[in-house]
Amino acid sequence: MNMDKKPLLGMTLSELQVLVSQAGLPKFTAKQIASWLYKKKVTNIDEMTNLSKKNRDLLNQEYTVGAANPIQAVKSVDGTIKYLFSVGDKNSIESVYIPDEDRATLCVSSQVGCKMNCLFCMTGKQGFSGNLSANQILNQIQTIPESDTLTNIVFMGMGEPMDNLDEVLKVLEILTSDYGYKWSPKRITVSTVGVRKGFERFLQESDCHLAVSIHTPIASQRKDLMPAEKGLPISEIVNILRDYDFSKQRRLSFEYIMFKGVNDSISHAKKLLELLDGLECRVNLIRFHAIPNVDLNGSDMETMTVFRDYLTKNGVFTTIRASRGEDIFAACGMLSTMEKNKNK
């Protein structure tokens, strides 16, 4: 990508409208450009052939499409593919493509590293290097070879989406608008630990599904695992969620990594049921991907099954998420950390 020119990919229709008016192009060209970008997925302004040669030249002076292919792809034996994208001079981010029967999900990153510093997360260990722009987020979706066959997008890669909400909301708009990908918001899930500045705004401004990373119902324990609990406690998150209707199209789920001997007892399951009482939601149990230098182990499958069955029997539908791509360092942040260390 030419770094001197501004990327068009990632611009919303209203941003394109401002752009064309400033460049002196006819108003209707904004919609034409959006269609070339998001429906025909061109990689070069010269391919926008219903714009006059003069107008394309004008655009070319300052702008570029701004699509950049992944720099690395690592395929797992189970079909999962981890893509590495270069951002800026030194950094890289990851996306994971997960094919599963009739679904093809892409797990995208929203930040380079993360400020939230969760004890169990490799991305958290990297620290925070910066927000991804809407261009860099959408680029992950648009440039992989499987782009046109994707059925779902999950914001469960590197970073905390609610900590970069302006850019994430732009991408959600492009993905769900008539001028953009025209996807149903039901195909998109945004995962969060809960960040005060951003959480309610997301609920108000987006119809996409929400996944809250909970990991334990006990506040003191959550604080140890996830410092973000200090900023927005899980009890408050649940109270905010009670004001929204999740009984129709929009789905609410809670992500729960199961750590051996830490949060996998029936007493934890009981407390979780109390906390979620009356909320229309489901729980996804996640197997822990061990990371270096962290004294936590994943629960065994038998314990996870007992925990799942207890929750489901007591009215909260619970699943165990299949662990994918373990042979390719699928724990988020692993591949980019290796790349970082290589570059040092």
For the annotated catalytic residues, the residue numbers are 94, 332
Minimum distance from CB of 123 to ligand SAM (Å)? 6
Stretch that binds ligand SAM, among 95-103, 171-179, 268-276, 286-294 (CB under 6 A): 286-294
Nearer of residues 9 and 94 to ligand SF4, judged by Cβ: 94
Q: Contact residues for ligand SF4 (CB under 6 A)?
A: 114, 116-118, 121, 123-124, 158-160, 193
Determine, following the binding rule CB under 6 A, whether residue 329 of this chain makes contact with ligand SAM: no
Minimum distance from CB of 132 to ligand SAM (Å)? 12
Question: Among ligand SF4, ligand SAM, none, what does residue 195 contact (CB within 5–8 Å per kind)?
Answer: none
Minimum distance from CB of 126 to ligand SF4 (Å)? 9
From 34, 137, 258, 332, residue interacting with ligand SAM (rule: CB under 6 A): 332
Determine, following the binding rule CB under 6 A, whether residue 213 of this chain makes contact with ligand SAM: yes
| Tokens describing residue 152 | 């779902």
3-state SS, the chain, equals CCCCCEECCCCCHHHHHHHHHHHCCCCCHHHHHHHHHHCCCCCCHHHCCCCCHHHHHHHHHHEECCCCCCCEEEECCCCCEEEEEEECCCEEEEEEEEEECCEEEEECCCEEECCCCCCCCHHHHHCEEEECCHHHHHHHHHHCCCHHHCCEEEECCCCCHHHHHHHHHHHHHHHHCCCCCCCCHHHEEEEECCCHHHHHHHHHHCCCEEEEECCCCCHHHHHHHCHHHHCCCHHHHHHHHCCCCCCCCCCEEEEEEEECCCCCCHHHHHHHHHHHCCCCCEEEEEECCCCCCCCCCECCHHHHHHHHHHHHHCCCCEEECCCCCHHHCCCCCHHHHHHHHHHC
Question: Among ligand SF4, ligand SAM, none, what does residue 59 contact (CB within 5–8 Å per kind)?
Answer: none
Minimum distance from CB of 332 to ligand SAM (Å)? 4
Determine, following the binding rule CB under 6 A, whether residue 140 of this chain makes contact with ligand SAM: no
Nearer of residues 67 and 108 to ligand SF4, judged by Cβ: 108
Nearer of residues 20 and 331 to ligand SAM, judged by Cβ: 331
Minimum distance from CB of 77 to ligand SAM (Å)? 19
Q: Which parts are annotated binding residues for S-adenosyl-L-methionine? A: 159-160, 191, 213-215, 289
Q: Which residues bind ligand SAM (CB under 6 A)?
A: 120-121, 123, 156, 160, 191-193, 213, 255, 257, 286, 288-289, 291, 331-332
